[in-house]
């Protein structure tokens, strides 16, 4: 996804998935598809809250995403869609978008305090898990071995021998943190055990390893095995970084054997084709294969790594910079855009979820609180005001640096290069004239400037990875 510093690309509240909260009550319904607009931020709603572009109507032409609804609409940069519910039919009405503040003509640096030494020659840290280590490579190779395992004795249930790497363990488990069970950490009372392949990587690090050597007959609900783990720092919720004890009862295991990690396995089972015609040793061949695995793993992390670099940069800049006199029209624009996104999702999920949805979210306020991630007694509007304030601060900082560095201009070449990006993106679906008309010349200019400043800022930073506890 294309990132811009002046039109921030990642909206944190859009990362929340309300379908997950509804999963226990309704059958899965299709997710609203993301579409890309002029600024490249991406949106699931009826218009992009970053640049104001309305979601294209479904014209039947082949594009990257399809409109959720097929109502035809006037599509220009002055209009957005508001979806309302009337009975079972969705109605679409055009709403004039709020005006945007003209940063290009303003002296933004007068309202931003940020010394040049604070954004040049600096060092920022990145999450350790985004760096591929030799341990990651070997873990992935172990995963490949697991995929090629063979059964020792069919599906015979084993209870009196220690479990080994590769076996399937049929388990009941319950997790405890500080002496209390935590939500989502137990299947203790289920009718059937969970089938866990030891080496599949299905559970958090340490859990599967903790079952190696356990004899099923000695791990019962009366006397369960204890597996101590620490949730990864990047787990993504309140469990991140916490130590836990899992009590595990093993009903039985089915035994499997893993193939050895050898050149024969890589060459004839994984069918890896070496680059050289001759290798001095099998070790040299396996080293090349491990380099190949490293490249693959790094490619899988490349977008996450780029996002982390950008987020680290802007988290730092918003911390060290002081912004004053935030343009009210921009604060209003972001706030209203976020509210519009929530309204869109509310209508969408309500239409699919029906009574189950309204039972879980009796009012729009209930849904809005869950959507933005505030407590039931929290103030979701105040939360959005804070988010909007942060968004405007990022815009101001970007333009201020552009002014201080004498880069607050977009040349004809830079404009054309940015326009070419969007021409390539739309793959002939829109002409240059249509892109300029519908996206807007100022939005394209802002996009080009944002890309230029962000690229320049990233070049001023040395990024290092946090240490990882192996």
**What is the band of 228 on the pLDDT scale with cuts at 50, 70, 90?**
very high
Range of the structural domain that residue 25 is part of: 12-114+321-465
Rg, Å, the chain Cα set: 27
39 and 87 inside one domain: yes
| DSSP-based three-state secondary structure for 119 | coil
**Out of 76-90, 172-186, 341-355, 405-419, which region has the weakest mean confidence (pLDDT)?**
76-90
Q: Does residue 216 lie within any of the structural domains?
A: yes
CB 92 within 8 A of CB 83: yes
335 and 438 inside one domain: yes
98 and 155 inside one domain: no
Q: Does residue 144 lie within any of the structural domains?
A: no
Top-confidence residue, 447 or 312: 312
Top-confidence residue, 73 or 450: 450
Count of Cβ atoms closer than 10 Å to residue 227 Cβ: 22
Cα end-to-end distance, the chain, whole Å: 32
193 and 326 inside one domain: no
At 26-41, the pLDDT tens digits run: 333 334 455 445 444 4
Q: Which two tokens stand for residue 269?
A: 């089972």
CB 34 within 8 A of CB 45: no
CB 395 within 8 A of CB 6: yes
Q: Is the pLDDT of residue 25 over 70?
A: no
195 and 329 inside one domain: no
| Residue 254 main-chain phi, psi, to 5 deg | -115, 130
Beta bridge partners of 243: 230
What pTM was computed for the model? Answer: 0.70
Nearest to 312 by CA among 119, 70, 46, 109: 119
At 111-150, the pLDDT tens digits run: 999 999 999 999 999 999 899 999 999 999 999 999 999 9
CB 303 within 8 A of CB 130: no
338 and 443 inside one domain: yes
At 255-278, the pLDDT tens digits run: 999 999 999 999 999 999 999 999
95 and 155 inside one domain: no
* DSSP-H helix ranges across 176-281: 207-211, 263-264
333 and 445 inside one domain: yes
| pLDDT score, position 372 | 93
| pLDDT score, position 98 | 56
Q: Does residue 406 lie within any of the structural domains?
A: yes
Domain boundary among 228, 257, 286: 257
H/E stretch holding 292 reads helix 282-320
| pLDDT score, position 469 | 60
Q: Is the pLDDT of residue 412 over 50?
A: yes
329 and 253 inside one domain: no
Taking CA atoms, 407 is separated from 5, 23, 449, in Å, by: 14, 49, 8
337 and 241 inside one domain: no
Q: Does residue 293 lie within any of the structural domains?
A: no
Query: How many structural domains compose the chain?
Result: 2
**What is the band of 22 on the pLDDT scale with cuts at 50, 70, 90?**
very low
| Cα-Cα-Cα-Cα dihedral sign, residues 47, 48, 52, 56 | negative
Q: Does residue 286 lie within any of the structural domains?
A: no
| pLDDT score, position 233 | 81
Domain boundary among 203, 235, 257: 257
211 and 92 inside one domain: no
102 and 156 inside one domain: no
Mean pLDDT taken over the chain:
82
At 47-66, the pLDDT tens digits run: 444 444 445 444 333 333 33
Q: What average pLDDT does range 434-453 have in this prediction?
A: 86
Q: Does residue 272 lie within any of the structural domains?
A: no
């Amino acid at each position: 996804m294309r990132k811009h510093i002046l039109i921030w690309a990642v909206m944190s509240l859009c990362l929340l998935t309300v379908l997950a909260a509804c999963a226990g009550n309704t059958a899965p319904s299709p997710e609203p598809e993301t579409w890309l607009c002029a600024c490249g931020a991406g949106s699931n709603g009826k218009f992009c809250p970053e640049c104001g572009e309305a979601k294209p109507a479904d014209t039947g032409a082949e594009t990257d995403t399809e409109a959720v609804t097929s109502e035809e609409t006037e599509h220009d940069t002055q209009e957005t869609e508001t979806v309302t519910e009337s009975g079972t039919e969705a109605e679409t009405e055009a709403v004039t978008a709020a005006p945007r503040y003209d940063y290009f003509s303003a002296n933004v640096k007068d309202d931003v305090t940020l010394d040049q030494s604070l954004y040049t020659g600096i060092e920022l840290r990145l999450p350790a898990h985004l760096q591929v280590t030799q341990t990651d490579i070997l873990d992935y190779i172990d995963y490949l071995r697991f995929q090629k395992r063979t059964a020792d004795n069919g599906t015979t249930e084993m209870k009196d021998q220690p479990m080994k790497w590769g076996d399937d363990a049929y388990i009941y488990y319950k997790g405890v943190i500080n002496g209390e069970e935590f939500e989502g950490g137990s299947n203790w009372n289920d009718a059937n055990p969970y089938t866990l392949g030891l080496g599949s990587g299905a559970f958090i690090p340490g859990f599967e390893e903790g079952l190696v050597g356990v004899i099923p007959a000695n791990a019962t609900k009366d006397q369960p095995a204890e597996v101590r783990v620490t949730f990864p720092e990047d787990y993504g919720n309140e469990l991140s970084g916490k130590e836990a004890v899992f009590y595990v009862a093993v009903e039985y295991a089915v035994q499997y054997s893993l193939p050895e990690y050898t050149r024969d396995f890589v060459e004839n089972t994984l069918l890896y084709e070496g680059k050289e015609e001759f290798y001095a040793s099998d070790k040299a061949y396996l080293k090349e294969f491990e380099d190949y695995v490293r490249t693959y793993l790094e490619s899988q992390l490349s977008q996450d790594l780029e996002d982390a670099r950008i987020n680290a940069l802007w988290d730092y800049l918003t911390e060290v910079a002081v912004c004053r006199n935030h343009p009210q029209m921009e604060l209003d624009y972001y706030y209203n855009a976020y509210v519009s996104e929530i309204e869109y999702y509310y209508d969408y999920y309500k239409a699919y979820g029906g009574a189950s949805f309204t039972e879980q979210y009796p009012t729009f306020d209930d849904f809005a609180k869950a959507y933005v991630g505030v407590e039931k007694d929290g103030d979701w509007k105040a939360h959005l005001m804070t988010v909007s304030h942060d968004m405007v601060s990022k815009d101001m900082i970007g333009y201020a640096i552009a002014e201080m560095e004498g880069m607050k201009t977009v040349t004809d070449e830079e404009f054309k290069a940015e326009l070419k990006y969007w021409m390539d993106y739309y793959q002939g679906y829109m002409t240059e004239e249509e892109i300029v008309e519908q996206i807007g010349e100022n939005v394209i200019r802002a996009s080009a400037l944002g890309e230029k400043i962000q690229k320049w800022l990233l070049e001023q930073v040395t990024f290092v990875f946090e240490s990882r506890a192996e």
